[in-house]
């Protein structure tokens, strides 16, 4: 198992020798390595068991460092950056030439963001390279929202996990890019669609729903735990011992039940959805019945993840 702690110097030394470290962000935990080192990048793909066609997100603590790895920041991107960074927004921008091709799976754009977590910001401040960090889970599984989730699945492959406590948002960042002047949203996430539209006007949705592995972005079946996930109207069902129930705010009086937010807060539900799916991924459970949440604000991203978990 990995060591778990808050030793930023140790994390820094490991990263400087091309080792990988689990890092907290406001969204989910990341599996971090030097974004400019081919050796470290290849390790990330290997540890995650991630196909090489699925590119990584790069993290830095300042706009200046981001400017060092992109070719251009269009005006619309600038507007989003001013309001939403640091925070759960990832931008696809033209990649600078010196950035290794393996980082972006050969694509012309690089995914970048400034995360909002004090420990990881401190770490980034002390490094003279940005960090590539996909979510710290094996490819295709639910993202980790605390240090122990990372340890459970990747602890035998990495030496250290920086412990920043439970992730305050609990869903991955929203991914946005620009195509011929249009603003395009590729992944629903921690910044609601509505907040982005308030800043830049109309946004086109291109949520990758395909299972075509040659299309980069999100594969349709993702975030999947072991038991079958079934989206249902929970008020109409009778549950047995091997069933688990994940409700939004209603108490269905079942023993294997997680209520995502008893006070019906989408923020709170977002924080809890991935750990709920993990909790019921055990041999005693055969089916996880989940209800969708209101399809607004963070609810869109929560429902997106529930649908992907349920997709076979
Ligand atoms: O909140 C987050 O974004 C977390 C934390 C750790 O920052 N990271 C994360 O990374 O969710 P990951 O690798 O699990 O998801 C990144 C997504 C993938 O679906 C990938 O295909 C897409 O971003 N992506 C990355 N670079 C891309 C690029 N150049 N073009 C298109 N899609 C890209
Ligand atoms: Mg991921």
Q: For residues 169 and 150, what is the distance between their CA atoms, to the nearest angstrom? A: 17
Is 225's pLDDT higher than 80?
no
- Work out the average pLDDT over 279-299: 96
Task: State the residue for tokens 């291109």.
Answer: 206
Integer Cα distance of 145 and 171 in angstroms: 8
Other C-beta atoms closer than 10 Å to the C-beta of 242 total: 12
pLDDT of 9 > 50? The answer is yes
pLDDT given for residue 30 in this prediction? 98
CA distance 212 to 70: 27
**pLDDT > 70? residue 283:** yes
* Ligand 1-lining residues (CB < 6 angstroms): 25, 27-28, 30, 54-57, 88, 90, 92, 104, 107, 109-111, 115, 133-135, 172-173, 175, 216-218
Give the residue, by CA position, lying nearest to ligand 1 atom 6. 30
| pLDDT over 70 at 237, yes or no | yes
Q: Is the pLDDT of residue 210 over 70?
A: no
Å from CA of 244 to ligand 1 middle: 30
Neighbours of ion ligand 2 (CB under 5 A): 135
Nearest CA to ligand 1 atom 17: 217
| 160-162/21-23 β-pairing | parallel
pLDDT at 212: 44
What is the number of other CB atoms lying within 10 angstroms of the CB of residue 47?
Answer: 18
Quick one: pLDDT band at residue 216, thresholds 50, 70, 90? very low
| Burial (CB count within 10 angstroms: exposed 0-12, middle 13-18, buried 19+), residue 145 | buried
pLDDT: which is higher, 240 or 222: 240
Give the mean pLDDT of 117-131. Answer: 98
Mutate to test the pocket of ligand 1, among 95, 115, 134 (most ligand atoms within 8 A of CB): 134
Rg, C-alpha atoms of the chain = 19
Q: What is the distance in A from the centroid of ligand 2 to the CA of 170? A: 12
**Res. 54: pLDDT tops 60:** yes
The reported pLDDT for the residue numbered 223 is 64
Mean of per-residue pLDDT scores for the chain:
95
Please, which pLDDT band fits residue 269 given cuts at 50, 70 and 90? Answer: very high
Residue 221 banded pLDDT, cuts 50, 70, 90: low
Q: How many CB atoms lie within 10 A of CB 95?
A: 22
Instruction: Take residue 75 and report the two structure tokens written for it.
Output: 């005006």
pLDDT at 213: 42
123/125 Cα distance (integer angstroms): 5
Q: What gap in Å lies between CA 151 and CA 140, rounded to an integer?
A: 17
pLDDT given at position 49: 96
The model's pTM = 0.96
In the chain, what percentage of residues exceed pLDDT 70?
94
> What is the atom index within ligand 1 of the atom nearest the CA of 137?
14
Q: pLDDT digit string (tens) for 74-120?
A: 999 999 999 999 999 999 999 999 999 999 999 999 999 999 999 99
Ligand 1 atom, smallest distance to 107 CA: 29
The pLDDT of 120-135, averaged and rounded, is: 98
Residue 289: predicted pLDDT: 98
51 pLDDT above the threshold of 60: yes
Digit-coded pLDDT (tens) for 147-180: 999 999 999 999 999 999 999 999 999 999 999 9
Detail the DSSP E strand segments found in 99-159. 109-113, 131-132
CA 102 to ligand 1 centroid distance, Å: 14
Which among 26, 206, 217 is the best mutation to test ligand 1's pocket, defined by most ligand atoms within 8 Å of the CB?
Answer: 217
Q: Cα separation of 226 and 289, whole Å?
A: 13
Confidence at 312, pLDDT banded by 50, 70, 90: confident
- The helix or strand, by DSSP H or E, that contains position 122, with its residue range, turns out to be helix 118-126
Secondary structure E strands in the chain: 3-5, 21-23, 30-34, 57-59, 89-94, 109-113, 131-132, 160-162, 174-179, 182-187, 203-205, 228-231, 243-247, 257-259, 287-290
């Amino acid at each position: 198992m990995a060591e778990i702690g808050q030793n930023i110097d140790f994390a820094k030394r490991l990263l400087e020798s091309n080792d990988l470290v689990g890092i907290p962000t406001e969204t989910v935990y990341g599996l971090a390595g030097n974004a400019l080192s081919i050796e470290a990048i290849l390790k990330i793909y290997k540890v995650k068991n991630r196909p090489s066609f699925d590119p990584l997100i790069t993290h830095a603590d300042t706009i200046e460092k981001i400017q060092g790895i992109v070719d251009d920041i269009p005006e619309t991107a600038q507007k989003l950056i001013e309001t939403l960074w640091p925070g759960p927004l990832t931008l696809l921008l033209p990649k600078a030439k010196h950035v290794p091709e393996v980082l972006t799976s050969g694509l012309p754009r690089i995914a970048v963001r400034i995360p909002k977590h004090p420990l990881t910001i401190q770490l980034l401040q002390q490094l003279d390279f940005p960090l590539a960090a996909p979510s710290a889970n094996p490819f295709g599984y639910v993202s980790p929202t605390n240090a122990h989730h990372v340890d459970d699945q990747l602890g035998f492959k990495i030496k250290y996990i920086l412990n920043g406590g439970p992730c305050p948002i609990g869903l991955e960042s929203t991914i946005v890019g620009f195509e011929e002047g249009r603003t395009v949203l590729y992944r629903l996430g921690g910044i609601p669609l509505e907040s982005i539209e308030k800043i830049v006007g109309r946004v086109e949705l291109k949520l990758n729903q395909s299972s075509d592995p040659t299309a980069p972005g999100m594969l349709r079946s993702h975030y999947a735990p072991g038991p079958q996930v079934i989206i249902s109207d929970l008020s109409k069902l009778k549950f047995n011992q091997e069933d688990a129930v994940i409700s939004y705010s209603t108490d269905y009086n079942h023993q294997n039940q997680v209520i995502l937010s008893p006070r019906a807060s989408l923020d709170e539900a977002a924080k809890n959805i991935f750990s709920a799916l993990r909790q019921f991924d055990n041999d005693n459970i055969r089916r996880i019945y989940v209800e969708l949440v209101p399809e607004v604000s963070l609810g869109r991203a929560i429902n997106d993840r529930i649908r992907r978990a349920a997709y076979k």
